[in-house]
Amino acid sequence: MAGKTYKVAVVGVTGAVGQEILRVLERRKFPVGELVPLASERSAGSETVFAGKSQKVRKLEAGAFAGVDFAFFSAGATRSREFVPAAIQAGAVVIDNSSAFRMDEKVPLVVPEVNGDLLKKHPKLIANPNCSAAILAVALAPLHRAAGLQRVVVATYQSASGAGAKAMAELEKQVKDFAAGKEPRAEVFPHVLAFNLFSHNSPVGANGYNEEENKMVEETRKIFGLSDLNMVPTCVRVPVPRAHSEAVVVSFTKKISSQEAKALLAKAEGVKVVDEPQKNLFPMPRHASGELDVLVGRIREVPGDPLSLAFFVSGDQLLKGAAWNAVQIAERLITPDRKSTRLNSSHANI
């Protein structure tokens, strides 16, 4: 409806994802009539800026959702479990960035370019996938439609800001300490990340895979509706401030050439092909930072294996892996025919 505006709550507004949600709402000109910025008691009363105006952050509590149309949650799974029911009760549509409801079979887990049709039922609660899974899904979707996914082997190169604002600040401090000849210290991450890399900092489960790897498998299966998709992930944290990258080898049910794959990816929504072997120019986190689209390149055939392809992806995990995917879902709910037109300006604030 022309001119209609919405009351929008952002839970975890002071965090890495919460701040990015504000920037994406501005960037996409989402029709926000009133903003309700929420965080913990620690930051209640502090100021956050939205649409050029400073606003006071409020403490998250059940009563904060009165009259709210859309509530974006990004304050961790515990807060989502506790407060999402209150937001829904108050009449809000909730888009949750945490892992709390992702694997609940009643809750759609949505990447609009892949399974956006689930939004046609106007669910009251929509889960935003894990950042690595969302970025991977955008690249896999056009190839799956053409040739059918069978097996995915993926190694991730995950940035510091994937673990939040404090982790990002820790990487910066470690780099400065190195440069100043001081011994860097790790407090947020279990190991020093500067000039290093390590296996993802989530707990390792009984199956030998860490939590991040298990999330990637379960969530990719749910997003594609492929409950027995064979997947082998290895998730690694790298000293990159922002944007996750992934080296992927995919096997399909039928042959698809690298040229066909490149052509499909080039016209796929949410993908930008960066594949210039002559210049050795391929996706990089530095170029992916601030981009709504996921960058895909190094698209190669696998010698001796005609059913497989290899490629490399970089995507901004604060955007496609969190804030942009969430706002994109809200856009689709208010204007179902809106395509996610590209806004190219780099917009990274981390």
Give whole-number Cα distances, 249 to 217, 224, 295, 308, 313, in Å: 14, 17, 16, 7, 11
Tell me the C-alpha distance between 74 and 59, whole Å: 14
- Residue 291 C-alpha from the chain's centroid: 12
Q: At 302, phi and psi to the nearest 5?
A: -105, 115
- Choose the catalytic residue: 144, 200, 235, 244: 244
Token pair belonging to 183:
């011994």
283 contacts ligand NAP (rule: CB under 6 A): no
The residue within the footprint of ligand NAP, chosen from 165, 236, 263, 343 (CB under 6 A), is 165
- Choose the catalytic residue: 131, 144, 200, 235: 131
- Evaluate whether 94 touches 124 at the Cβ level (below 8 Å): yes
Token pair belonging to 73:
């949650």
Tell me the C-alpha distance between 7 and 117, whole Å: 24
Q: Where are the beta strands (DSSP E) in the chain?
A: 6-11, 32-39, 47-50, 53-56, 58-59, 70-73, 93-96, 125-127, 149-157, 198-199, 230-234, 236-237, 244-252, 271-273, 294-302, 305-315
43 contacts ligand NAP (rule: CB under 6 A): yes
Span from 140-148, 163-171, 225-233, 330-338 in contact with ligand NAP (CB under 6 A): 163-171
Span from 74-82, 228-236, 256-264, 282-290 in contact with ligand NAP (CB under 6 A): 74-82
The residue within the footprint of ligand NAP, chosen from 6, 9, 12, 296 (CB under 6 A), is 12
The residue within the footprint of ligand NAP, chosen from 8, 35, 39, 348 (CB under 6 A), is 39
Is 244 designated active site? yes
The residue within the footprint of ligand NAP, chosen from 35, 71, 93, 97 (CB under 6 A), is 97
245 contacts ligand NAP (rule: CB under 6 A): no
The residue within the footprint of ligand NAP, chosen from 8, 36, 60, 240 (CB under 6 A), is 60
Footprint of ligand NAP on residues 121-140 (CB under 6 A)? 131
For residues 311-343, b (16+ Cβ closer than 10 Å) or e, as one string? bbbbbbbbbbbbbbbbbbbbbbbeeeeeebeee
Span from 10-18, 109-117, 215-223, 295-303 in contact with ligand NAP (CB under 6 A): 10-18
Q: How far is the CB of 75 from ligand NAP (least distance, A)?
A: 3
Residues of this chain that interact with ligand NAP (CB under 6 A) are: 12-18, 39-40, 42-43, 60, 74-77, 79, 97-98, 131, 161-162, 164-166, 317-318, 321-322
Active site positions, annotated? 131, 244
